């Protein structure tokens, strides 16, 4: 059985309500973050789901150098702090450099390691040390290029820093060029993954989250090849499948006007639809218990 991951006042893992990690892809403004966060929180409270607000202060991995990246570290963390305080929910954001770990850990409850960076030792060590120092958690997204079993490496690196308050996230695996697939047998294997702790002893498996919107991406297939393509309409189906198999959390991005969003326009769920998506996964979760 998986161990629990503590994110703020919430617990993710066996016997806990399904956790929803959700928000806009990038922080476009404080007002947008608060609006999306309130909408998601209202639905999650109504459905008995735990809610963690998510948004990025910097999108360092963009298809084009001309793409918008976000407000940056200082302003972004300030907005995240305000959102967490006003909504009274835990918050998370992704970090891309070791120097981001300490300032982010002073503000956010869950440090996210992007999938492309899941093997970056310096980033993992900095995140683990800062998370352990401030009582935070770390979410490591599985790289599109590695197997579920290879996620024992990031877990062991974090354990070396005395950070075992961790979750893992599935977000699709490369299937040739411009396509991602989800291996649900692999997700199950990741849910049973026993990495070694700092003393070399097997740990209980970490809780697993499923990212239903990034799994719908078609890398490099967006407008003019300058942005990532995809189709958010497949996200609800993938989310239900993941919940039916027992994942402990869902990750999704949503925006009131995805067509004009600054990032991931093709895969963010329209905010008008996200309540229906959450109702669907809540019904599946209830039936599976």
| Pairing between β-strand 217-218 and β-strand 208-211 as defined by DSSP bridges | unpaired
pLDDT at 157: 98
Query: Domain of 263: which CATH number?
Result: 3.20.20.70
Structure-block tokens of residue 262 = 């600054």
Kindly state whether residue 227 falls inside one of the protein's structural domains: no
Half-sphere exposure of 144 (CA within 13 A, CB side): 20
In the predicted model, residues of the chain with pLDDT beneath 70 are 61-68, 220-226
Residue 107 lies in a domain: yes
Q: Is 134 helix (H, G, I), strand (E, B) or coil?
A: helix
Contacts of 120 (CB under 8 A, 6+ apart): 113
Residue 211 lies in a domain: yes
Distances (CA, A) of 15 to 51, 135, 239: 16, 22, 19
Instruction: Give the whole-angstrom CA distance, residue 162 versus residue 86.
Output: 31
Q: Are 233 and 241 in contact (CB under 8 A)?
A: no
pTM assigned to the model: 0.96
Is 166 inside any structural domain? Answer: yes
Domain that holds residue 152: 5-10+17-57+69-221+245-288
Determine the Cα–Cα distance for residues 213 and 261; give it in Å rounded to an integer.
Answer: 14
Phi then psi for residue 47, to 5 deg, are: -100, 0
- Answer yes or no: is 87 within a domain: yes
**Residue 200 counted as domain residue:** yes
Burial of 234 (0-12, 13-18, 19+ CB in 10 A): middle
Contact 207, 163 (CB under 8 A): no
Structural contact between residues 211 and 175, judged by C-beta atoms closer than 8 angstroms: no
Q: Does the residue 252 lie in any domain?
A: yes
Phi, psi of 277 (to 5 degrees): -65, -45
Chain position carrying tokens 């991951």: 5
The Cα–Cα gap between 163 and 173 comes to 26
CB 38 within 8 A of CB 268: no
Report pLDDT for 229.
87
What is the tally of structural domains in the chain?
1
Q: Are strands 10-12 and 19-23 parallel, antiparallel or unpaired?
A: unpaired
Q: What is the pLDDT of residue 2?
A: 85
Is 269 a domain residue? yes
Segment 203-241, tens digit of pLDDT: 999 999 999 999 999 876 555 556 788 999 999 999 999
Query: Which residues are within 8 A (CB) of 239 and not within 5 positions of it... i.e. 6 or more apart?
Result: 210, 212, 250, 252, 277, 280, 281
- The DSSP bridge partners found for residue 269 are 254
- State the CB neighbour count (10 A cutoff) for residue 132: 17
């Amino acid at each position: 059985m998986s161990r629990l991951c503590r994110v703020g006042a919430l617990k993710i893992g066996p016997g806990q309500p399904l956790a929803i990690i959700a928000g806009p892809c990038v922080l476009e403004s404080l007002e947008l973050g608060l609006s999306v966060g309130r909408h998601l929180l209202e639905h999650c409270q109504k459905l008995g789901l735990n809610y963690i607000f998510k948004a990025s202060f910097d999108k360092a991995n963009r298809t084009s150098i001309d793409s918008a990246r976000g407000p940056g570290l200082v302003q972004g963390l300030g907005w995240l702090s305000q959102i967490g305080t006003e909504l009274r929910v835990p918050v998370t954001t992704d970090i891309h450099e070791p120097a981001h770990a300490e300032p982010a850990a002073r503000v956010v409850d869950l440090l996210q390691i992007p999938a492309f960076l899941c093997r970056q030792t310096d980033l993992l060590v900095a995140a683990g040390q800062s998370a352990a120092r401030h009582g935070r958690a770390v979410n490591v997204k599985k790289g599109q290029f590695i197997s579920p079993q290879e996620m024992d490496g990031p877990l062991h690196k974090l354990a070396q820093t005395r950070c075992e308050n961790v979750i893992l996230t599935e977000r699709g695996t490369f299937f040739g060029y411009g396509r991602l697939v989800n291996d649900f047998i692999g997700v199950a294997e990741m849910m049973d993954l026993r990495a070694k702790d700092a003393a070399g002893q097997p740990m209980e498996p970490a809780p697993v989250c499923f990212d239903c919107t990034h799994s719908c991406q078609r890398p490099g297939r967006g407008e003019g090849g300058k942005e990532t393509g995809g189709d958010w309409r497949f996200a609800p189906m993938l989310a239900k499948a993941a919940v039916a198999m027992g994942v402990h959390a869902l990750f999704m991005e949503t925006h009131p006007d995805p067509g004009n969003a600054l990032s991931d326009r093709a895969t963010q769920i329209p905010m008008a639809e996200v309540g229906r998506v959450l109702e669907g996964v809540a019904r599946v979760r209830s039936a599976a218990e």
